[in-house]
Structure 1
Amino acid sequence: MSQPDLCMTLPNGRRSLTGSAIALGPLDGRYKAVTEPLVDYLSEAALNRDRIHVEIEWFIYLCKKSVLPGLSPLTEEQELALRSIVTEFSPEDINELAEIEATTVHDVKAVEYFIGRRLAAIGLEHLTPLVHFGCTSEDINNLSYALGIKDAVHHVWIPQAEELITQLRTMAEDSAHTPMLSRTHGQPATPSTVGKELAVFAYRLNRHLNAVKEVQFLGKINGATGTFSAHIVAAPDVPWLKISEEFVSSLGLSWNPLTTQIENHDWQAELYHAMSRFNQVLHNLCTDIWNYISIGFFRQIPVAGATGSSTMPHKVNPIRFENAEANLEIANALLGTLSATLIQSRWQRDLTDSSSQRNIGIAFGHSVLAMSNVVKGLKRLDVADDVMAQDLDQNWKVLAEAIQMVMRAEAIAGVEGMENPYERLKELTRGQRVDAQRLQEFVASLGLSAQAQKRLSQLTPALYTGIAPDLVQFMNRSN
Structure 2
Amino acid sequence: MSSSIALLGPCGLVARSSNSAVPRALQIDRGGQRLRMPPAIAAARLDISETSAIGTNFPEALSSFVSPSEGLELTELTAISPLDGRYANKVKFLRTIFSEYALIRYRVIVEVQWLLKLSQIPELKEVPPFTDNARSFLLGVLADFNVNDGAAVKNFERVTNHDVKAIEYFLKGRIKDHPELSKVLEFIHFGCTSEDINNLAYALMLLNGREHLLKKMDEVISAIRSLAHKHANVPMLSRTHGQPASPSTIGKEMANFCYRMELQRNQVASVSIKGKMAGAVGNYNAHCFTYPEIKWEAVAESFVTSLGVDFNPYTTQIEPHDCIAELFDAVRRFGNILEDFDRDMWAYISLGYFKQKVVPGEVGSSTMPHKVNPIDFENSEGNLGLAKSWLSHLGSKLQVSRMQRDLTDSTVLRQIGQVLALCVLSYDSTLRGINKLEVDEAATRRDLDATWEVLAEPIQMMMRRYGIEKPYEKLKEFTRGAAVTKESMREFIETLDLPEAAKERLRLLTPHTYCGKAAELASNV
Q: TM-score range by the shorter chain?
A: over 0.9
Q: Is 1:142 the equivalent of 2:199?
A: yes
Contact residue 221 and residue 248 of structure 1 kept, 8 A: yes
Deviation at 1:358, TM superposition (A): 0.6
User: Match for 1:11 among 58, 63, 69?
Assistant: 63
Aligned to 1:61: 117
- Identify which range, 14-23 or 313-322, moves more after superposition: 14-23
User: Match for 2:416 among 360, 369, 373?
Assistant: 360
Deviation at 1:79, TM superposition (A): 1.6
Give the secondary-structure state (helix, strand or coil) at the position aligned to 1:294: helix
- Find the aligned partners of 2:521 and 2:515 in 1 and give their Cα distance: 11
- Find the aligned partners of 2:385 and 2:159 in 1 and give their Cα distance: 39
Deviation at 1:160, TM superposition (A): 0.3
Deviation at 1:72, TM superposition (A): 1.9
Q: 1:103 to 1:10 in 2, by over 3 A?
A: farther
Aligned to 1:450: 500
Aligned to 2:46: none
Aligned to 1:192: 248
Aligned to 2:220: 164
Contact residue 245 and residue 454 of structure 2 kept, 8 A: yes
For 1:235, give the aligned amino acid.
Y
- Find the aligned partners of 1:372 and 1:431 in 2 and give their Cα distance: 43
Structure showing greater radius of gyration is 2
Give the total of aligned pairs: 460
For 2:438, give the aligned amino acid.
D
Q: Is 1:92 the equivalent of 2:148?
A: yes
Aligned to 2:356: 300
- Find the aligned partners of 2:129 and 2:218 in 1 and give their Cα distance: 43
- Find the aligned partners of 2:391 and 2:113 in 1 and give their Cα distance: 31
Deviation at 1:70, TM superposition (A): 2.9
- Find the aligned partners of 1:13 and 1:242 in 2 and give their Cα distance: 62
Aligned to 2:480: 430
List per-residue Cα deviations over 1:55-111 (Å, max 9, x = no partner): 000001110223412322212232222122222222211211111000000000000
Matches within 5 A, 1:128-277: 128-154=185-211, 156-277=212-333
For 2:425, give the aligned amino acid.
L
For 2:497, give the aligned amino acid.
G
- Find the aligned partners of 2:143 and 2:445 in 1 and give their Cα distance: 59
Deviation at 1:126, TM superposition (A): 1.4
Give the secondary-structure state (helix, strand or coil) at the position aligned to 1:60: helix
Give the secondary-structure state (helix, strand or coil) at the position aligned to 2:86: coil
- Find the aligned partners of 1:77 and 1:164 in 2 and give their Cα distance: 47
Contact residue 126 and residue 184 of structure 2 kept, 8 A: no
Aligned to 1:470: 520
For 2:227, give the aligned amino acid.
M
- Find the aligned partners of 1:389 and 1:401 in 2 and give their Cα distance: 20
Contact residue 123 and residue 293 of structure 2 kept, 8 A: no
Aligned to 2:165: 109
List per-residue Cα deviations over 1:19-42 (Å, max 9, x = no partner): 122311111111112211221111
- Find the aligned partners of 1:122 and 1:434 in 2 and give their Cα distance: 90
- Find the aligned partners of 1:447 and 1:17 in 2 and give their Cα distance: 84
- Find the aligned partners of 1:474 and 1:63 in 2 and give their Cα distance: 55
Give the secondary-structure state (helix, strand or coil) at the position aligned to 2:244: strand
Contact residue 181 and residue 188 of structure 1 kept, 8 A: yes
Contact residue 399 and residue 461 of structure 1 kept, 8 A: yes
Aligned to 1:321: 377
User: More helix per residue: 1 or 2?
Assistant: 1
- Identify which range, 21-30 or 284-293, moves more after superposition: 21-30
Deviation at 1:472, TM superposition (A): 1.7
- Find the aligned partners of 1:122 and 1:144 in 2 and give their Cα distance: 26
Aligned to 1:372: 428
User: Match for 1:398 among 454, 461, 465?
Assistant: 454
Aligned to 1:338: 394
* Same amino acid, percent of matched pairs: 43
User: More strand per residue: 1 or 2?
Assistant: 2
Contact residue 203 and residue 474 of structure 1 kept, 8 A: no
Contact residue 112 and residue 131 of structure 1 kept, 8 A: yes
For 1:460, give the aligned amino acid.
T
For 1:427, give the aligned amino acid.
E
Contact residue 269 and residue 340 of structure 1 kept, 8 A: yes
User: Match for 1:20 among 41, 53, 74?
Assistant: 74
List per-residue Cα deviations over 1:229-285 (Å, max 9, x = no partner): 100111010010110100001000100001000000000000000000000000000
- Find the aligned partners of 1:19 and 1:373 in 2 and give their Cα distance: 29
Give the secondary-structure state (helix, strand or coil) at the position aligned to 1:269: helix
- Find the aligned partners of 2:64 and 2:362 in 1 and give their Cα distance: 35
Higher relative contact order (CA 8 A, sep 6+): 1
Q: Is 1:279 the equivalent of 2:335?
A: yes
For 2:127, give the aligned amino acid.
L
Deviation at 1:458, TM superposition (A): 0.3
Aligned to 1:46: 102
Q: Is 1:439 the equivalent of 2:489?
A: yes
For 2:288, give the aligned amino acid.
I
- Find the aligned partners of 2:235 and 2:178 in 1 and give their Cα distance: 70
Aligned to 1:384: 440
- Identify which range, 368-377 or 68-77, moves more after superposition: 68-77
Deviation at 1:10, TM superposition (A): 6.7
Contact residue 101 and residue 107 of structure 1 kept, 8 A: yes
- Find the aligned partners of 2:159 and 2:328 in 1 and give their Cα distance: 35
Give the secondary-structure state (helix, strand or coil) at the position aligned to 2:466: helix
Deviation at 1:17, TM superposition (A): 6.0
- Find the aligned partners of 1:341 and 1:133 in 2 and give their Cα distance: 30
